[in-house]
Amino acid sequence: MLNIFKSFKNDESGAVTVDWVVLTGAVVALALVIGTTVGGSISTAAGNIAEDVVANSGGAEE
């Protein structure tokens, strides 16, 4: 299996270049989807933690 990836990486024909562009685009799209999905959850979790800290500190948020 490793040999397939090595030959794919070393092949300099035009079709492989197109494959790399498509593969790179797919990776970027996947990263954007994951970032968007996780980003909202992280923001919500941070807000919940901040509320708990303020509620348990005995003081008001300034």
Comparing 29 with 4, which gets the higher pLDDT? Answer: 29
The three-state DSSP-derived secondary structure of the chain is CHHHHHHHHHCCCHHHHHHHHHHHHHHHHHHHHHHHHHHHHHHHHHHHHHHHHHHHHCCCCC
pLDDT of 6 above 70: yes
Please tell me the pTM assigned to this model: 0.50
List, for residues 7-55, the tens digit of each pLDDT value.
877 776 777 788 889 999 999 999 999 999 898 888 889 999 999 999 8
Please give the pLDDT value at position 46: 92
